[in-house]
Structure 1
Amino acid sequence: MKSDRNTTMKALITEEFGKPFIMKDIDLPKPKEHQVLIKIKAAGLNPLDLKIKNGQAAHAQVKLPAVLGIDMSGIVVETGKNVNDFKVGDEVFGMVGGIGNHQGTLAEYITADADHISLKPKNISFQEAAAIPLIFITAWEALVDQINIQPDQTVLIHGGAGGVGHIAVQIAVAKGAKVYTTVQSGSSEQIRKYGAEPIDYTVLSVDQYVLQYTNGPGFDAVVDTVGGNVLDDSFRAVKQYTGHVVSILGWGTHSLAPLSFRNAKYSGVFTLYPLLSGELKRHHGDILKEAALLLETGKVKIKLHPQSYSLEQADTAYSLLESGKASGKIVICCEK
């Protein structure tokens, strides 16, 4: 039955972790003060979305039943009180829900705090815009907020063909850094197109590529987007005294001895914090404005999986994400 969009909307409900979504008609939300109501055009999927759906992300603080989905793009259809930066009809994108007590983006509509969104770049599609927020914000917080990346610095980015990784590579190149990234050989051509140097980690050991590309001292900064043993490798690849390692997946137990012996620094990135806490939320909107500038000038491009999916096909999209066979960011189109 078709939703009466004046009072209800269609949404995918997660009632049990690890189980298929259930399509339901639920109440259409109303924007509160400093919020906007957005008609969602597309929702981007991230590995974190899969972990949340499978009940493997306690840090996301999701309580069931819930509407999942973190990223989206869409059109503002209503504004609450004290919203000055957006108006009805604006095309926007942002990382706005699906964690804590926030409704997610696998629905026809969503309310979002005006601080969490930005105007969508005019030169990209809604699908491309929906794939951007979480990965760009994460990469920006690592490279700009933590490292304060500078021109001509040498930066090693682990996992440069991945979601966060391919954005981090492009941001670092745009900032004028000398960028290297660990990938498998099949991704080397694309990495070179971004303006970075690929390092085939299946061929060269840490010691070998540090010697080959830095003549021995190590990289000024290392960004770990993979975690596990790769974070341990990062501690060995960073420069003595002035080096800085940042990880977006700093879980588990790691020996800090290699980092300590190099007198280097370590920082972590927890991208969800402003959305969960309500603190520093304006910063996410500001980062997305920086994303829009880089996207509009062509300095950053998003790699999408060639096929998009409808809300009804969401379980198929999540299965593809879980298989690791997607050839880019997966996007769900939230309207027919």
Structure 2
Amino acid sequence: MLTSRVPATMQAAVVREIDGPFEVLDRPIPAVAPGHVLVRIAASGVNPLDTKIRAGVAAHAQHPLPAVLGMDMAGVVVQVGEGATRFQVGDEVYGLVGGVGGLQGTLAEYAAVDADLLAHKPKSLSMRESAALPLVSITAWEGLIDRARAGTGHKVLVHGGAGGVGHVAIQIARASGADVYATAKPSQFDVVRSYGATPIDYAASTPADYVLEHTADEGFDVVYDTVGGATLDASFVSVRRYTGHVVSALGWGTHSLAPLSFRGATYSGVFTLMPMLSGKGRAHHGEILAQVAKLVDAGQLRPLMDTQRFTLGQAGDAHARVTGGQAFGRVVVDVA
């Protein structure tokens, strides 16, 4: 095992019970299994799903308590386990690595991580910015590229274009050569435009209105729903007949497929946590993040960052900023 100097203990923000407070405690440094690396975490991204796991309302993403929460991170490799040949001590990495299914989360100074889940972080971003990207980028990529094969000549509609997955989906679609449209509030139009999409006021226009205006009533080649519920139903009537494809990252409810079937179109769901929960397909997440880093360093993708900053001891405040709706952009906890 290749290693640099590592202490015996670390600080971690631990939650003991559902909706419980974060307690910063000393914990043993985790052991590094074959195929894994030990990462000194510099920053931990906070996702809405993290707050739902803490609140005990994410049945699809259970994490036994007491636990360290947090799924996204960026940091530096300090130990390399047997067989983890893609990384060496000192490498700066980022990834979606834990916080569900019993895997230690990222609100800690160190984490032992399956190397397949990691990629070298974008060179042009800080640790904080890099930690904002893994979950939302993988979710956007799996929907647009893996499922829908969005590309040149396609008209892509992203529902929730100013959100975490939405603003990244716009940029990935644009980098793939698509013409992109995005639903948003009028107050978010400038952000949507800055990422290269045409904004649509979802409250002031119906699907029939924007399908007619932007596609001459043909429908969008790809519709990516990042909102769920009624928005997924609206997606089914907004997609192009025969060749169109709807993707949803929140297709958890019960929906009628009749509108989609009558258009002869197709549908895919995205469940980003599957590789962490099942242990299968993890290498593809690392591959996606390597491609995302290339887009970032080529100037084709950048995260929308919330201006508020938090330390490990303020993890509860970071969660409150997400749940309270004050955040505009990605919330990140500075761990180092």
Name the TM-score, length of structure 2 as normaliser: 0.97
- 2:35 aligns with 34
Q: Partners of 2:157 and 2:283 in 1: how far apart?
A: 29
- 1:235 aligns with 236
Q: Which amino acid aligns with 2:55?
A: N
- 2:87 aligns with 86
Q: Partners of 2:78 and 2:158 in 1: how far apart?
A: 39
Query: Residue by residue, what CA displacement relative to the aligned partner does 1:145-199 show, whole Å, maximum 9, x if unpaired?
Result: 0001120101110000000000000000010001101011111122222221111
Contact kept, 8 Å, 2:39 with 2:112, in 1: the verdict is yes
Residue 181 of structure 2: SS of its match in structure 1? strand
Query: Residue by residue, what CA displacement relative to the aligned partner does 1:111-143 show, whole Å, maximum 9, x if unpaired?
Result: 111110011111110000000000000000000
Query: Residue by residue, what CA displacement relative to the aligned partner does 1:45-84 show, whole Å, maximum 9, x if unpaired?
Result: 1111111110011211311111110000000111111121
Structure 1 unmatched runs, 5+: none
Q: Partners of 2:210 and 2:307 in 1: how far apart?
A: 33
Q: Partners of 2:176 and 2:6 in 1: how far apart?
A: 44
Q: Partners of 1:295 and 1:273 in 2: how far apart?
A: 25
Q: Partners of 1:169 and 1:121 in 2: how far apart?
A: 19
Q: Partners of 1:167 and 1:90 in 2: how far apart?
A: 25
Moved over 6 A (4+): none
> Which structure 2 residues correspond to residues 227-266 of structure 1 after superposition, within 5 A?
227-266=228-267
Moved more, 270-279 or 22-31: 22-31
Q: Which amino acid aligns with 2:103?
A: H
Cα RMSD of the aligned pairs, angstroms, is 1.1
Q: Partners of 1:59 and 1:15 in 2: how far apart?
A: 20
Q: Partners of 2:13 and 2:195 in 1: how far apart?
A: 36
> Which structure 2 residues correspond to residues 287-302 of structure 1 after superposition, within 5 A?
287-302=288-303
Query: Residue by residue, what CA displacement relative to the aligned partner does 1:86-123 show, whole Å, maximum 9, x if unpaired?
Result: 11111100000101121000101001111100111111
- 2:224 aligns with 223
- 1:211 aligns with 212
How many Å apart are 1:19 and its aligned residue? 1.3
- 1:69 aligns with 70
Identity of aligned residues (%): 52
> Which structure 2 residues correspond to residues 1-336 of structure 1 after superposition, within 5 A?
6-335=7-336
Q: Partners of 1:20 and 1:78 in 2: how far apart?
A: 31
Moved more, 198-207 or 280-289: 198-207
Residue 237 of structure 1: SS of its match in structure 2? coil
Contact kept, 8 Å, 2:6 with 2:78, in 1: the verdict is no
Contact kept, 8 Å, 2:12 with 2:25, in 1: the verdict is yes
Q: Which amino acid aligns with 1:239?
A: R
How many Å apart are 1:231 and its aligned residue? 0.4
Q: Partners of 1:190 and 1:241 in 2: how far apart?
A: 32
Name the TM-score, length of structure 1 as normaliser: 0.97
Q: Partners of 2:65 and 2:160 in 1: how far apart?
A: 32
Alignment size in residue pairs: 332
Q: Which amino acid aligns with 2:131?
A: A
Q: Partners of 2:326 and 2:24 in 1: how far apart?
A: 26
Q: Which amino acid aligns with 1:119?
A: H
Q: Which amino acid aligns with 1:130?
A: A
How many Å apart are 1:262 and its aligned residue? 0.8
Contact kept, 8 Å, 2:137 with 2:168, in 1: the verdict is yes
Contact kept, 8 Å, 2:226 with 2:248, in 1: the verdict is yes
How many Å apart are 1:5 and its aligned residue? 5.8
Structure 2 unmatched runs, 5+: none
Q: Partners of 1:312 and 1:193 in 2: how far apart?
A: 34
